[in-house]
Chain A
Amino acid sequence: MTDLSLTSHDARPPLGGWLPGVRLTEAQAAVLNAAADELIPGGEGFPAPSEVDVISFIARYVAPSGVKPKWFPFFGEDELRVRLDALGQGFVDSTSAQRVAVLEGLERDEAEFFTRLRDVVYHAYYSRPEVIRAMNRNLTAAKDYRNSPQPYGYSDVMDDWDDELLSRVRGTYIRTEDVRRVEIPADLPLTTAPRQAQVSLETTEPLPAPSGG
């Protein structure tokens, strides 16, 4: 017997994260919000992460205590709490410049933790509906960006082929039965120097030229 606990059990992460989600203390939530707001500053029409409740997204994707954090964001509840407690109220009360300096220190000295924190904040922020609406409003290039690409796709906003472009790439081809084949020698002369790798293929008509429109 193969040990099935190794194979089928727990092989996939729960979709939508773990419910009901890790409940951070008020103090921990304040630290996480303060860090998130420095990682992705709001402004110019964009909300700050703390204004769009990144906390509840993160709370669902952090592996609860006792579950191995083997999937993105590779964060466990216990580690997150310890880290947030260590930053503490002092971090929340600091100036923005001081908080950035602390984060720069973490980026330098605790690269793995920092990267995980940054990645999960980034994912939480850019998946919030308010942020997607801000993108639609503020960025020309994102005016038709939407939260879920499937199943509807982007057929309504994609340009069609225009006649000029289509005629430029539209080709013709020679059916196999119309092609007069040449036997390709099995042992072409070997050379030691690289040479042009063009195989001649005689056809009853010349191969189609690139169509010019």
Chain B
Amino acid sequence: MRHAKKPDQVDAIVVGLGATGATAAKVLSEAGLKVVGFDRGPWLSAKDHYSGDELKFVNRNYLWPDPNLFPRTLRHDETSAAERFPFSPTPQLVGGGTNHWAGWVPRPRESDFMVRSLHGDIEGASLADWPIRYEHLEPYLTKVEWEFGISGIAGADKYEPFRSKAYPSEPLRPTKFGKRFYEACNKMGINGFPIPHAMVTNNHKGRDPFNTTSFWNQYGDPSTARSNTLTTFIPEAVATGNFELRSESFVREITVGKDGRATGVVYIDPDGNEVVQEAKVVVLGLGAIESARLMLMSKSPQFPDGLGNSSGMVGKNATFHEYVFAVGLFDQEIDDPLHGWAGNYISGGTFEFYETDENRGHIGGCLISASQTCHPINWVFPGRPQWGQSLKDADRSYFNFAMKIGAILHDMPVESNRVDLDPTVKDAWGLPVARITHKPHANDVAMSKWQVDKNAEILQVAGARKTVPVYLDRMTGNTCHQHGTARMGTDPSKTVLNEWCQSHDVDNLFVVDGSCFPTSTGVNPTLTMMANAWRVSEYIADVWSKGREEHITLAG
């Protein structure tokens, strides 16, 4: 094996440059630390690579990890053999999931941080409180909203907890679908409001304003309107002069010294060389699947079960937020069409069903949101004819006469739902791939049923002539949300990280992505993840790297 010349030690390594890794890179480098950031994928120019090309982005999955090079496997119970499946295909390139996301960025609720205190233990689930509360995150939610660029109306969501500042940008204009949703909400006494979007509608920080199309969701946005760390935090980190980005560099192991502290990483560079990079601190932001995999692959005499895994909890309690929905079909003889055609554009949502109501037969709840039904050519609704005259008739009748109301399923943590190393399947580097084992908790199934039925009811009030429910069947990872595989908490025997997302076992290892979430929340998680990554990075720069230690004590 050929080895390249060993580069000099740096202050910090950030692995994975998506939503959270890029946040860490920005905050650490702006604080003056010398940072090297790694991403397995390329560093693309959005202007040159991105467009509204449906075949390129939707059919050929331009932004997805190549399933031949980076396979994952999935099984739905303990005894089945796991099969290859592109589970939760978050883009693996600089910018990560913010390259393809819809960018719905609602704030979490106070109840999300104390699910176990509020509900106790429910059978088959491992509910847990977070070691922080909403108030610890609020200043950072505001920082991300302003630095990253979020549009919305402060206060329109009447169930939102306190906030210190309004949004930097006005909300996206409503589609006709959105207006129908608001009308139905008003009739039903539901608090409908424009969901905050990671999209600017003004020249915030010199960016392009939104051009009123949703061909950024699953596509790459060629403009700078959509908030993508590739075009925001990454260039800001580079501008400090303290940040070096190494793309197409695959980190395969975190190394540890005799003292059990992390010394750095081993990675494979774009020329195929194995390189060792040393640092004082290693920060992981690969997403909850790949961060867990990297920790599990980093075995050493001190950590035979994987780095930072003395609790045995790395990879466990994985949650994934399946997207479930109801479709409403309108009648073109009677109803106004729902044009303009802007793609899979969402403009309204509500938190009306978020908090637990025991009359519903399940605990927790989720954000729901109204949108169009996907892409112009890959346009589909359940039960649509497949070909021939009946398909042509359906296309003519329902194109732009259909909308859906979806829910981000607030799935319960279950210890046996987990990410581990597949015993047989290997990636292009010969390393074991992530195997996902997931079986929904009974509460997930009940919540999906109740919420999708409620969504169908709203569609009917909105004027849909026919509604089609799509409930939770099995977890497929269709939201690309990943959490829980390295929970934070106060007990080192039951959790992987402390309240600063710092490994209980390895004091210079931090995990800033969704791995740290003790419970999944019922909101799109990226805003929460980025705010948390900012909070942790500030702690690393201001406290930890100065040799100090602080702890959060919750009032009791």
**Interface set of A (CB-CB < 8 Å, partner B):** 1-4, 6-8, 11-13, 15, 38-41, 43-44, 46, 61, 70-73, 100, 103, 107, 118-119, 122-123, 126-127, 135, 138-146, 148-155, 157-161, 165, 168-177, 179, 181, 183-188, 190-199, 201, 203, 207-210
Contacts and interface: CB of A to CB of B under 8 A. Distances in A.
14 contacts: A1-B273, A39-B388, A138-B396, A141-B401, A143-B339, A146-B341, A148-B52, A158-B342, A168-B182, A171-B157, A171-B158, A176-B164, A196-B357, A203-B162
B377 A123 contact: yes
A165 B179 contact: yes
Contacts of B155: 170-173, 208
A125 to B, nearest CB: 9
A193 B114 contact: no
Contacts of B239: none
A125 B158 CA distance: 46
A164 B396 CA distance: 33
Given A100-B388, A176-B164, A184-B555, A1 B2 contact: yes
Contacts of B121: 190, 192
A135 B400 CA distance: 11
A143 B362 CA distance: 44
Interface in B289-329: none
A5 to B, nearest CB: 10
Contact of B110 (A169, A172, A201): A201
Interface stretch (B29-37, B75-83, B207-215): B207-215
Interface stretch (B7-15, B61-69, B254-262, B479-487): B61-69
Contacts of B388: 38-41, 100, 103
B119 interface: yes
Nearest to B166: A173
B59 A72 contact: yes
Contact of B119 (A169, A174, A181, A191): A191
Interface size, B (range): 35 or more
Given A139-B399, A159-B176, A171-B155, A41 B429 contact: no
A3 B268 CA distance: 11
- 7 smallest beta-carbon distances between A and B, as pairs: A171-B155, A153-B211, A141-B400, A141-B337, A176-B164, A173-B155, A186-B556
Given A71-B60, A154-B212, A171-B156, A199 B110 contact: yes
Given A127-B377, A171-B155, A194 B55 contact: no
A141 B117 contact: no
A39 B388 CA distance: 4
Contacts of A165: 174, 179, 182
Contact of B399 (A15, A141, A149): A141
B126 interface: no
A194 B358 contact: yes
A130 to B, nearest CB: 15
Nearest to A155: B212
Of A15, A149, A174, chain B has the most CB atoms within 10 Å of the CB of: A149
A122 B149 CA distance: 38
Interface stretch (B189-197, B460-468, B510-518, B532-540): B189-197
B56 interface: yes
Contacts of B135: 181
A150 B176 CA distance: 21
Given A150-B215, A158-B173, A169-B156, A40 B556 contact: no
Contacts of B213: 149-150, 153-154
A151 B47 CA distance: 10
Interface of B: 1-2, 50-56, 59-60, 62, 66, 68-69, 110-111, 114-122, 133, 135, 138-139, 153-158, 160-166, 171, 173-176, 179, 182, 186, 191-194, 210-213, 215, 219, 221-223, 248, 268, 270-273, 332, 337-343, 355-358, 362-364, 376-377, 386-389, 391-392, 396, 399-401, 428-429, 553-556
Contact of A72 (B1, B60, B161, B389): B60
A142 B119 contact: no
Contacts of A152: 211
A85 B66 CA distance: 33
Nearest to B111: A197
Contacts of B268: 2
Nearest to A57: B55
A153 B173 CA distance: 13
A75 to B, nearest CB: 12
Contact of B387 (A40, A73, A190, A196): A40
Nearest to A184: B133
Contacts of A149: 52, 213, 215, 342-343
Given A41-B388, A150-B215, A176-B163, A169 B182 contact: yes
B156 A2 contact: no
Contact of A168 (B186, B272, B396): B186
A183 B115 CA distance: 17
Given A73-B59, A199-B110, 16 more contacts: A7-B69, A7-B428, A40-B392, A41-B388, A122-B377, A127-B55, A142-B399, A150-B50, A153-B211, A154-B342, A158-B340, A159-B340, A165-B179, A171-B155, A195-B358, A197-B111
Contacts of A119: 59
Contacts of B54: 127
A118 B215 contact: no
Contacts of A199: 110-111, 114
Contacts of A118: 386-387
B263 to A, nearest CB: 22
Contacts of A73: 59
B223 A177 contact: no
